[in-house]
Every structure is written in C-alpha cells, then in structure tokens.
Amino acid sequence: MKTYATLHLAMAQPGLMLVTLNRPEASNALNTQMGLDLEDLWSGLIAAPGEIRCVVLTGSGERAFCAGGDLKERRGMSDADWLAQHEIFERCYWRLLDCPVPVIAAVNGHAYGGGVEIALACDFAYAVREARFALPEVTLGIMPGAGGTQLIPRAVGERRAKEIILTGRPFGTAEAVQWGIINRVCERAELMPEALATAAAICANAPLSVRQAKKAIHHGLQMDLKNGLMFEIEAYNRLVGTVDRQEGIRAANEKRKPVFTGR
C-alpha cells in the first residue's frame, strides 16, 4: 500500500480501504501536497482498483473533517501560482467523481468550502451531530470552484443552493440531512462503526455489479430519461457474461451466501 505525506491509508477489512485526511494541525485543510496525494490515490483506483471494493474517507482528529483550502499556504501567492494550485485541486476532485469504487464520507467534524465539496464528491456521507458546514467562498472574494456550484444544486435544488452559496452562512447536520447533503447523523462514537458497516455491506456485494450500478446512476442523471435507460441497459448487459452473475444466481438457488470474485 502506498504512503502519502497528507493521507493515512489502512485496510479496515479485505477490500475495504479507510482513507484519513491527515493534517490535524491545520484542520485537515487542503494544501498543494494533499491535492497531489488525493489525485494520485483516486487516479490509482480508477486505473486499477484491484481488490478494493469500497472506501471510507474521513478526517484526522475530532474538530474538522476538512476546513477547505489552506489559506495560510495561499497567503502571498501570485495569481499564476494560485491558478496552478487550483488546477491540482480540480484534478483531485474530478478523479474522485470518476472513481469506480464507491466512496463514503465519514464527516468527523466541520466541513467548510472544499471540505463540503469533498463530501459532495463522495457517493454519500454520514456525519457527527456537532459538524458544521459552509461554502463561505464569496466572503473571501472567490466562489466555490471544486464542484460546489454544480453538486450542491444537484443535492438540494437550485433555490436552496443559491441561499447556501450566496450567503456563505454555516449550517448544521440537521439542515444537511434535511437538504440531502448528508445521509445520516451519527453520535461520534458511532460514526466510524456505522460508515464501516455500510461499506462492509457494499463489499459483500458483487464488485462489478456495484461499479456498473454506480456508473449508471452517476452518468444517467446527466442524460434525459430515455438515454439514461439505454445507458442502464448497456451497463446491465456487461454483467450478464460475468462469473459473479453465474455465482450469484447459483448461490441464490442453493440458498447460500455467494462468493464474489470480481470476474
């Protein structure tokens, strides 16, 4: 398993990778190195997921999941340096969106700016009750630039998204769940057990089926209904000739738990 300067990787169980944003001294803020590390991680899972069937992404410590871009690193940056750094951030978010392996965000604390955008780029998210969320970029003379203006409206609707982004005001987990940003609120001691239990349930399913279903949902929502249905069938048909499809049907008939191998 690769090692990274700003990330901690561990296997929670076979096929289940736990990734921790590991800059607790900076509230796990996204600096240039973290952007490079995340881009490399997600790119590797796109190219060769191997035995990895699900990822849980969380932050180090109890205060913050991710505070967004590291403003201390950005202090005094030239326009050219700022744009070059942001291009790295763009790539790391887009690679996460393209990752074929399901990624669950376990939001262990506050998520601001790019931290909210990371949670939104994951497939879904659980959060501790005390977490706070905000997209405050307009209060800093910029705007969300890592998917916020596109992913927030898709989660909460256009009018709510405008309120969130144009005011920059923080909101809590109750609102985040009600608006569809977070799937589940957990007590702190239960966050990781619940996220890992959900990830384990995903890991137990046929990995090719999970990846094809994820792809059909993600890309189908960018299409009209008829084309989305056609895309779904194309994704479905790729599973018919797999060993796992044969094993799943055989196990159901034999009344036993299937053993999926990703083939």
The whole-angstrom separation of Cα 156 and Cα 103 is 20
- Bridge partners, 13 (sequence order): 16
CATH, domain range 207-254:
1.10.12.10
- How is domain 7-203 classified at the CATH fold level? 2-enoyl-CoA Hydratase; Chain A, domain 1 (3.90.226)
Structure-block tokens of residue 249: 């049907």
* 247 in active site: no
Nearest to 67 by CA among 152, 10, 140: 140
Q: Which of 117, 163, 190, 194 is catalytic?
A: 117
Q: Which of 137, 163, 187, 232 is catalytic?
A: 137
pLDDT tens-place values along the chain, 263 residues long: 899 999 999 999 999 999 999 999 999 999 999 999 999 999 999 999 999 999 999 999 999 999 999 989 899 899 999 999 999 999 999 999 999 999 999 999 999 999 999 999 999 999 999 999 999 999 999 999 999 999 999 999 999 999 999 999 999 999 999 999 999 999 999 999 999 999 999 999 999 999 999 999 999 999 999 999 999 999 999 999 999 999 999 999 999 999 999 99
The whole-angstrom separation of Cα 141 and Cα 134 is 15
* Alpha helices, DSSP H, located in 102-143: 114-121
Strand boundaries in 46-183, DSSP class E = 54-59, 64-66, 103-107, 110-112, 124-128, 132-134, 171-172
CA atoms within 13 A on the CB side of 96: 28
Domain coordinates of the chain in residue numbers? 7-203, 207-254
Centre a 10 Å sphere on the Cβ of residue 80 and count the other Cβ atoms it contains.
8
- The answer to whether 102 touches 202, Cβ cutoff 8 Å, is yes
* 117 in active site: yes
